[in-house]
Chains A and B, each alone.
Chain A
Amino acid sequence: MDSPIEIMMILLVLSDMALLGLSRVRTCISIVSFQGMLLGGLALVTQFGSLTPRLIMIAAASFIIKGFVFPILLRRGIREAGTQNEMEPFVGYIMSVIAGVAMLGVSLWLGTKLPVFTVGSGTSLIIPAALTTLFTGLFLIIARKNALNQCLGYIIMENGIYTFGIVSVVEIPLLVELGILLDVFVAVFVMGIAIYHINREFDSLDSDRLNVLKG
């Protein structure tokens, strides 16, 4: 019950809830950075008995890229955009938190339906937490207007996939894992450029305004 993995999973779910409920982009970036570091540590804790260089590499890559590189890139995005003001999202913050709790419930139910993964690690909270994180990321992409928040949603979604990968780390080849990480890295890069251009064009990060470009 009180194993470090469980506590890490609870922290992961709590950070998801915080991301859903908080409106300030800077705080959200710090929380996502915390999530990245947490997951870097998780990779080591889950396979503590059998540490391989490969595993340490994945953990270190996650820790450094998600914990430090992404936040720096995103903060630079904020600085260049110059707008940190929160916009009214499609779904309000209270409703988002309530939706988060609902997503957690669905994830727990789904977790019981996926016995394949639960056998490997022995703890039952990893899969639900991973699913919740995945759903949270998707939800943020859909429900927020701010392009930076959508970018954060993308990273959070990847965090969920990564947590999934940890459970079955023995099965997933290193190349796939690093490939995903690289994809996200490039995506954040591209999004940074896109954010810059959205901001230059419209003086705001509201991705909804892209609709204006349609002919």
Chain B
Amino acid sequence: MEITSLINIILGLLLAPLLLGIINKTKASFAGRTGQPLLQAYYDIIKQLQKGAVYSKTTSWIFRAGPVVGLSAMLVALAIVPLGGVAAPLAFSGDLLLLAYILGTMRFFTVIAALDTGSSFEGIGASREVLYSALAEPAFLIGLAAIARETGIMSLSQMLPLSHFFSPEVVLVVVALFVVFLCENARIPFDDPNTHLELTMIHEVMVLDHSGPDFALILYSSALKLWVLGLVIVGLIFPTPPGSFWLVPVFTAICGLILLAIIVGIIESTMARLRLIRIPQLLVAAGSLSVLAFILVLR
């Protein structure tokens, strides 16, 4: 294991909540507000960690396990996805499948922790989350499979630097993955992270009953999820030529992530949330882009 790949993980752990701050700052500047501080996500996490947790008597160990499993899943994901040209420490052939299933594990535990509370609102959120992820997962997997087929490599660490943007397949996959990115991270147009109306929410509603340190873990792991999925997209857009000094591609990748966060902020300021009934349409469209890319690569 190289020391540089460890540094990349530490960078991810430190900088991930910053992306949330950048998104919020972009939204604030579009709305003409000053907005919350750039480091608000860090303050929130620290504040939540200092509080005590309240557990309902109806919940079981599943409710307590949810946030912990979620965070540990994201830590594993962080160790799989490469940053810049440096191979991730846990990279192996076929790790793109593991990434998809780790995201699935995190989602599964969030969902059953939500169901464990017995709250009907959280049931609604859980049901929606499962429906949308069932549509988003094929788009994600087939998209990555198309890239894997094109480069002939099954490991994210070696595959992402080799893909060249500007071939039509990669553009299709990037668009599909971006839609999945917005859906998985519960951003507009799929879910509005700012609303607190349970009837329209998907992700936020599932974590309503978590408090204190548990909620801090959830906030932190969702920031890591944003970082990890963002890295996959950025890795496709900015492939790294082999042989360059590691700091240069790493710097490029982080700039790419910041750019991605700004784009998400712009989308959130200019678009409205989709009607729930429309969301599957968008996800199926993303899936068909992935399939199209895969077919193009296959022939």
Contact = CB atoms under 8 A, between A and B. Distances in A.
Interface stretch (A6-14, A82-90, A196-204): A6-14
Interface string A1-28: 1100011001001100100010000000
* A contact patch SS: helix
Contact of A100 (B166, B288, B296): B288
A108 interface: yes
Interface string B280-299: 11001100110110011001
Contact of B299 (A14, A21, A108): A108
A104 B299 CA distance: 12
Given A2-B168, A6-B168, A94 B281 contact: yes
B281 A10 contact: no
Contacts of A124: 299
B244 interface: no
B249 to A, nearest CB: 24
B288 A97 contact: yes
A14 B171 CA distance: 12
A173 interface: no
Nearest to A107: B295
Contacts of A100: 288
B288 A10 contact: no
Interface in B68-85: none
Contacts of B58: none
Contacts of A10: 168, 172, 292, 296
Contact of A101 (B168, B280, B291): B291
Contacts of B284: 21, 94, 97-98
Nearest to B166: A2
A18 to B, nearest CB: 8
A185 interface: no
A105 interface: yes
Nearest to A1: B167
A164 interface: no
Given A100-B288, A101-B288, A94 B296 contact: no
A13 B281 contact: no
A108 B167 CA distance: 20
Interface string B99-138: 0000000000000000000000000000000000000000
B267 to A, nearest CB: 19
A105 to B, nearest CB: 7
Interface in B122-173: 166-168, 172
A1 B288 CA distance: 20
B295 A17 contact: no
Contacts of A68: none
A32 to B, nearest CB: 18
Contacts of A94: 280-281, 284
A93 interface: yes
Given A1-B167, A6-B168, A7-B168, A108 B288 contact: no
7 contacts: A2-B166, A21-B281, A21-B284, A21-B285, A93-B281, A94-B280, A100-B288
Given A10-B296, A108-B295, A125-B299, 18 more contacts: A1-B167, A10-B168, A10-B172, A13-B292, A14-B289, A17-B292, A21-B284, A21-B285, A93-B281, A94-B284, A97-B288, A98-B284, A98-B288, A100-B288, A101-B288, A108-B299, A124-B299, A125-B296
Interface of B: 166-168, 172, 280-281, 284-285, 288-289, 291-292, 295-296, 299
Interface of A: 1-2, 6-7, 10, 13-14, 17, 21, 93-94, 97-98, 100-101, 104-105, 108, 124-125
